[in-house]
Structure 1
């Protein structure tokens, strides 16, 4: 027998004899792992709205703000609630730095271009989201969908 074959045979026999003391042999003697505790079922979730009526019912609740305005001029004090439409401009008194609020509407997404004395800010919010709110110079803009489906804007200030 060649020296190489003898070395390999010796190594194989050594491993076979030591097999009872290896990690594999030790795991055979170990107790089985404990059974994981049962997890209570996940809470049920409301289904995703599929119709326009469902979306309107799930729309954000009407925020408590100032009086309902009939025209943009009624919102000069930045404390009103008004139905909005595409291209509308709302002039503000400028007490909070905001002088003009331009509104662009695309479905339920409302883009506000807010003009101050020295600059402007642009933001887009989705009226379907109850958490859609923008804070600009202490003025709060919160678009929402009213119960009758009208797109509304609640304007308030600190």
Structure 2
């Protein structure tokens, strides 16, 4: 008789109790590629992006409501809350020298470009 391989274990839950896959964006690289504050990723509602401590920027939480993208960050380094329209090409906000630019893609998803200015 053929042997059935053991089932793959599910990934462990995130330390904050959330879905660990939810923080990875739409691809396997996810926001971890943004730790250096230089990236462009597809984003989704209720996502968190964390940066290397040397940038003195607390984790940025993403909220999406239609074409509106809200970025918020609360912590020892201050508070930032900004809502931008992803359909407007000039939408951006800068906090602690890090600039965030949302963009509505043709497929209806929203990408976020993060850069050090």
With structure 2 as the length reference, what TM-score do the two structures score?
A: 0.71
Indicate the residue corresponding to 1:145 in structure 2: 104
Mapping for residues 1-158 of structure 1, pairs under 5 Å? 70-158=29-117
User: Alignment partner of 1:131: what SS?
Assistant: coil
Q: Is the 8 A contact 1:69 1:75 kept in 2?
A: no
User: Alignment partner of 2:55: what SS?
Assistant: coil
Aligned length: 91
* Cα 1:69–1:124 shift into 2, 3 Å: farther
* Cα 1:115–1:94 shift into 2, 3 Å: farther
* Cα 1:69–1:94 shift into 2, 3 Å: farther
> 1:72 deviation in Å?
1.5
Indicate the residue corresponding to 1:39 in structure 2: none
* Cα 1:116–1:139 shift into 2, 3 Å: farther
Higher strand share: 2
1:105-134 Cα offsets, whole Å, 9 max, x none, are 000100000245332110100000111010
Unaligned segments of structure 2, at least 5 residues = 1-26
Q: Give the number of the structure whose alpha-carbon radius of gyration is greater.
A: 1
- Name the Cα RMSD after superposition: 1.8
Unaligned segments of structure 1, at least 5 residues = 1-67
Q: Which contiguous aligned blocks of 4+ residues in structure 1 show a shift greater than 6 angstroms? A: none
Higher helix share: 1
